[in-house]
Structure 1
Amino acid sequence: MDYLLVIAVVFLSLFGLIMIFSASYPLAIWDLDPPRYFFTKQLQFFGIGLVLFAFTCIFPFRVYGKLSPIFVILSIILLIAVMIPGIGVERNHSQRWLQIGSFVFQPTEAVKLAMIIYFAYIYAKKQEYIDHFWKGVMPPLFILGLVFMLILKQPDLGTATIILLPCGFILFCSGARKIHLVLLGSIALGGIAFLAVTSPYRLERLFSFHNPFADPDGNGYQLVNSYYAISSGGFWGRGLGNSIQKLGYLPEAHTDFIMSIIMEELGIFGLLIVICSYLFIMYRGIRIAQYSTQPFPKLLAIGLTFQLIVQAIFNLGAVSGLLPITGVPLPFISYGGTSLIMMLITAGILVNLSRYTNKVENKKKHPSVEAN
């Protein structure tokens, strides 16, 4: 088992708990009274996620592939249920949540994992005819298109794109022909660009991302205050707990924009901690894929790794103004129970794959041992 990967995942989760408490206690005091409200909730989710992380570290990963069609069917059912009045929960003009009793969760977090497992499993089985466009490449893409459109109805183009990209990485690494990849990539980029510029609220986000100071009290308000938080942090930051922007200035300070608070309180040093942790996870994930000898674990490791990294890039790009704001949480760090639990399950499956690839790596490094 890749224990260094385990340490990196647990470290990021614990670091996120500390920063959630720091970023959320003013809001908790004003709205909910207990200053540790968000921290306590996230700690409970971390406990659940840690149990599931341990379980997925040892559960036979091949079973996930066999169950992947069921996962996809359940994903489609959940995405349809979100749009049903009385079942789906609307927040901030978006209908992305389901509520069961007092428990509210976001189905798209589970859909991300389901689609990666499905794509890895199907394209691993289609290796013999991966050169054939209609027989080898296209069938899983019809399912991806349906899932993409259902998420787009919520509306949530950011999450839909995040699901699209890791699946594209899996297809790229499956051995598909370059002409097919170029064709599909062009269609996907053109479609996303069309959806971005034809929707009024998405177009407003694009303009505010391009020049937030043109409307600092409107569409650019969140990004402008993110800039203030980042710029005031310097190298070492104001000190843990000393953020000013979290005192009602920066919306979503403990969720989507928690990185801004990290940089305000811990400075560039805090940014380096986070980025180096993600780079380390990416390195270990690519290494696991590299030493996988069979198509399914190789493609699955690639998909899981890049799903984590792409989501981190989207979040970090949004808070820094390099990418449009999409409402994507920072993996392991942002507040959100569904996100944290699914990220820990994703990491657990990746650690599980390392249990098999490490044996192959050791044989390559020490062939004399195997010969003896």
Structure 2
Amino acid sequence: MRVMSLILSHLKKIDHILAGTIVCLCLFGLLMVYSASYPLGEMKYEQGSYFFMKQWQWLLIGLFFFIIAALFPYHAYRKWIRWLVMLSMLCLIIVLLPGIGVVKNNSQRWIHIGSLMIQPSEAVKLVMILYFAYVYARKQAYITSFRKGVLPPLILLGLVFLLILKQPDLGTAVSILLSCGIVLLCAGLNMRHLIFLGTTAAAGITFFAVTAPYRLKRLTSFRDPFQYEDGDGYQLIHSYLAMDSGGLTGNGLGGSIQKLGFLPEAHTDFIMSVISEELGFMGVSFVIGAYLLIMYRAVRIVRSLQDPFGKLLTVGLTFQIMLQAGFNLGAVFGLLPITGIPLPFISYGGSSLVFMMITAGILVNLSSYIKRPKQQAQAK
């Protein structure tokens, strides 16, 4: 009874708008995965609901961990962070071993755990933000010293970047780099160090982007996809066709033409194109509005928390969600190269959904530590 009482008391403190928005996005994503993947399920597995049922199972797992993360005190991660870092590094090494790592679409990013296929880099996104928030919260007193206050965690970040790049997965590697970078910036990095690290990171990303032929093709094709309509521009052109067809209110749920074998990855990377075609500008606005609401509620958490670790953790987790959404939407709208990064809470994909929900669960837990107006009045 006492445990249940504590849980109920904690649930009263969380940001219910934040939690509700996340759950609504997940349920909306499940509906859109069903719609976007039905033709592919019929053609490939003779079962239209094939991808829907798999996503539904992953969503149940994600909801379980979302609740656990929402109830688990965020400051307790300090005790486990070193073990989490070591485990995530081990997984990044294991996934590259021949015979263990699963190869799909010329990438070796997955490992089998029982009947499940897990993508370790999705877990590393979360672990590295936890690690950076933990380390730089402790280094506040000497954050202006590059060698002592800034450099040590960057060595580990560089190793993580190279291991994920080896899979190869430049998009995920860059997203981890940028999320950790924003945590470092908010920890008090001075301008001189910021310019040096920013220039170095930009040069490194550019080098890896242009030295691989298939990445260079993506960089050139997204700027003028119609010049490469039979190759790398094909997917983006059909994304444009889907969005143009949708108009204001769309063609109705299930009414997409592009998902009928024309638009590759319609239920994963390009699910927003199907949303736009079926639900129009209204559907797109709902999704973008939900992300903006999550960001707004997260800003409230950052402004209210006093704990440096909690502040940096909130910034890093929120930035990762928004960055991943930005990468995906930018690719769909033709503003950024196609990176293969899924749309948070919506795209089909088990590892991405589960670890994104854990990320969101930690955000919800952080929201329970802010003081509401009534609590502030009582404190006075």
Deviation at 1:363, TM superposition (A): 4.9
CA separation in 2, counterparts of 1:358 and 1:301?
A: 16
> What does residue 112 of structure 2 align with?
99
CA separation in 1, counterparts of 2:348 and 2:108?
A: 19
- What is the aligned counterpart of 1:159 among 168, 172, 185? 172
Deviation at 1:37, TM superposition (A): 1.0
Name the SS of the counterpart of 1:104 in structure 2: strand
- What is the aligned counterpart of 2:190 among 169, 177, 181? 177
Range with bigger deviation, 346-355 or 95-104 = 95-104
> What does residue 245 of structure 1 align with?
258
CA separation in 2, counterparts of 1:66 and 1:126?
A: 17
Q: Which amino acid is 1:110 matched to?
A: A
Q: Which runs of 4+ in 1 moved over 2 A?
A: 361-364
> What does residue 46 of structure 1 align with?
59
Deviation at 1:166, TM superposition (A): 1.1
> What does residue 75 of structure 1 align with?
88
The alignment status of 1:219 with 2:232, answered yes or no, reads: yes
- What is the aligned counterpart of 1:304 among 291, 300, 317? 317
- What is the aligned counterpart of 1:255 among 265, 268, 272? 268
> What does residue 11 of structure 2 align with?
none
CA separation in 1, counterparts of 2:213 and 2:379?
A: 63
Name the SS of the counterpart of 1:311 in structure 2: helix
- The alignment's C-alpha RMSD in Å is 1.0
CA separation in 1, counterparts of 2:119 and 2:294?
A: 24
The alignment status of 1:325 with 2:338, answered yes or no, reads: yes
Q: Which amino acid is 2:51 matched to?
A: F
Q: Which amino acid is 1:223 matched to?
A: L
TM-score after normalising by structure 1:
0.97
CA separation in 2, counterparts of 1:370 and 1:356?
A: 14
The alignment status of 1:60 with 2:73, answered yes or no, reads: yes
The alignment status of 1:129 with 2:142, answered yes or no, reads: yes
Range with bigger deviation, 210-219 or 243-252 = 210-219
> What does residue 290 of structure 2 align with?
277
* Residues 222-273 of structure 1, C-alpha deviations (whole Å, 9 max, x = no match): 1111111111111111111000000000000000100000000011111100
CA separation in 1, counterparts of 2:201 and 2:374?
A: 40
> % of aligned pairs identical?
59
CA separation in 2, counterparts of 1:336 and 1:139?
A: 34
**Please, which runs of 5 or more residues in structure 1 have no aligned partner?**
none
CA separation in 1, counterparts of 2:68 and 2:111?
A: 25
- What is the aligned counterpart of 1:9 among 22, 25, 31? 22
**Please, which runs of 5 or more residues in structure 2 have no aligned partner?**
1-13
- Paired residues in the alignment total 367
* Residues 185-238 of structure 1, C-alpha deviations (whole Å, 9 max, x = no match): 111111111111111111011111111111111111111111111111111111
Deviation at 1:67, TM superposition (A): 1.1
CA separation in 1, counterparts of 2:350 and 2:78?
A: 25
> What does residue 292 of structure 1 align with?
305
TM-score after normalising by structure 2:
0.95
Name the SS of the counterpart of 1:210 in structure 2: coil
Q: Which amino acid is 1:293 matched to?
A: Q
CA separation in 2, counterparts of 1:303 and 1:175?
A: 14
Q: Which amino acid is 1:44 matched to?
A: Q
CA separation in 1, counterparts of 2:182 and 2:100?
A: 34
- What is the aligned counterpart of 1:190 among 199, 203, 218? 203
Deviation at 1:45, TM superposition (A): 0.9
* Residues 118-158 of structure 1, C-alpha deviations (whole Å, 9 max, x = no match): 00000001111111101001111001000000000011110
CA separation in 2, counterparts of 1:70 and 1:185?
A: 29
Q: Which amino acid is 2:261 matched to?
A: G
